Structure formats: structure tokens, C-alpha cells
Amino acid sequence: MSRIAYVNGRYVPHRQAQVHIEDRGYQFSDGIYEVIAVEGGNLVDEKWHLDRWDRSLGELRIAPPMGRSALMLVAREVLRRNLVRDGIVYMQATRGVAPRDHAFPKRSKSALVMTARRKKGPSALLAEHGAKVITIPDIRWERCDIKAVALLPNVLGKQRAAEAGAFEAWQVDRDGNVTEGTSTNAWIVTAAGELVTRQPAHAILNGVTRLAVIEIARLRQLTVVERAFTVAEAMAAREAFLTSTTSAVMPVVRIDDVAVADGAPGPISRALREAYRAHVAG
Ligand code: PMP
């Protein structure tokens, strides 16, 4: 079966899906995106993703290419045409096509692209043994809360992780605090059993999985503290893990060359991974 993409009002074969060379997403990274997990045909935490989509558009003053319900109709149609019931849907909006000039064009029509694919997350085996992360300086801009397609530092960071044989790179700000991974949020469990993850300000993307895990943890009477933590604190933590739409809850067992606790996934990370799986399954 050939894949189908949605491109500015048309459903086209994936191989032939194209945008204009003067699309501002292509020239300036002037656009935003969302990745939503699909489980049994259901869009997981759809509302939180749409809230963030609208927020990202608003922060960049890009006109929504269409309203929420139309957007979800297109998403479901893309999933249907690609026979995806378990996987992800990717949606991207840019400020559209205009002669190249940095300032916003007077007239442009927001561009919208959507694709879907069957995608398995990282292997269950990796989650069973736990993942390794490296630490790198956070060289990104000061609005990481916007889910912009401008991801060059994240690309370079993930490549460094891959070359180091690690699953992710945790980015570290000038004060020595971990902000987040290149495509995941970072968490630790303290000696007192508290869950700590960076507060959702401009320095991180407020992950939808992060929000879901906060909710799940609090329902289980766990204490969640949203604050910064240092690399040293993470290395000495009782447990560490990371969260994202595609990785779910992934235990972290090694930070650079230091094992976290005994180097195996801890009970809280495991329990949260299980509980998140149940949440996704609805
Ligand atoms: N931080 C960054 C920088 C990301 O790119 C992502 C994934 N898009 C996340 C965190 C996790 O967000 P979510 O849980 O919504 O996938």
C-alpha cells in the first residue's frame, strides 16, 4: 500500500508530496508542529496536543490553517487512508509561501502538511534494561516552550547521543541545570521519593507525556515537584527517566559515565511506565 500525505488541501502519494521552495518553513523554520500518538485509532491526549498547537501558533502569530475540528477531520482521514490504527500522526503548519524576506509577509496563507505512520516506540527490551543519556550544553534559543520546527540544536544533540551509543542527550543550561532532552522531558526521583522535573517555563517544551505523567503520579499519591535539578543531582538520584509521545516513560540508568543507583530501572519508573501504558490504552 502506498502512503498518502495531506499537503495544503490535497491528499497526495507520499513520494510526490511537495511544498514550494519559498515556503517559510523551508527557508526560515517559520513553522510549528505536533506529533500525536495513535492507539487503537484513538488520538492520545488529543486536547492537550491541540492546546499546544494553538499556543505555538499564537506565540508566533501564525494564522491557524484551519479550526480544531477540521484539523482533526484531516488527521483522521490521513490515518484512515494510511491504514494506521497504532502509530503517530505528524502535523506541521508554517507561515506559508512568500518572496524571501525576514519580516512577516503582508499576505500569506498558512501552509499545512500532515503525515501518518505506523511506528513502534523504542523497543520494550530497551525499557526493560533502561537507557543511557549523555549531557551536552543547551545551545538553544530562549523560547523552547514553542514547538517550532527550528530543531537544529536538537538534531546536533541527538546525533551526539547516537555517536556516543546513548539514547538521548540531556541539555544543560548555563547554571548547570538540566533543561530537557533533545526530544524528551527529563525526570529524576529523589532519595525522599519525590518526582522532580523542570518547571514549564520558556526553557523547555511542556511535553504532553510530561503532563499525563504528572497527573498519573499525583493520582497515585506521589509528590511531583516542578523545579530545576543539576546533573550532579541526577547522577546521585534514586531513579531517573524521560518522557515523550514516542518513548512513553523510559527509565534512564546511565548519565554520561555514571550509573544511576544500581544501574537498573527503578520501581517508580517501571510503575509509571506501566500506568502510562494503561492511560494510552484508554
Ligand atoms: N521536549 C522536546 C524538545 C521535544 O521535542 C519533545 C517531543 N516533541 C518533548 C520534550 C516531549 O513532548 P511530548 O511528550 O509532547 O511528546
62, 86, 118 - which closes a domain: 118
Residue nearest to atom 10 of ligand 1 (CA): 184
Looking at ligand 1, which atom is closest to the CA of residue 144? 3
pLDDT tens for the chain, residues 1 to 282: 789 999 999 999 999 999 999 999 999 999 999 999 999 999 999 999 999 999 999 999 999 999 999 999 999 999 999 999 999 999 999 999 999 999 999 998 999 999 999 977 788 899 999 999 999 999 999 999 999 999 999 999 999 999 999 999 999 999 999 999 999 999 999 999 999 999 999 999 999 999 999 999 999 999 999 999 999 999 999 999 999 999 999 999 999 999 999 999 999 999 999 999 999 998
Of 84, 101, 118, which marks where a domain is finished?
118
Q: Interior CA angle at 12 toward 8 and 16, to 5°?
A: 105
> Is the whole model's pTM more than 0.95, yes or no?
yes
Q: What is the CATH number of the domain that holds 106?
A: 3.30.470.10
Distance from residue 178's CA to the centre of ligand 1 (Å):
15
pLDDT at residue number 170: 99
Report the CATH number at residue 203.
3.20.10.10
What residues are paired with 110 via a beta bridge?
Answer: none
Quick check: CB of 56 below 6 Å from ligand 1?
no
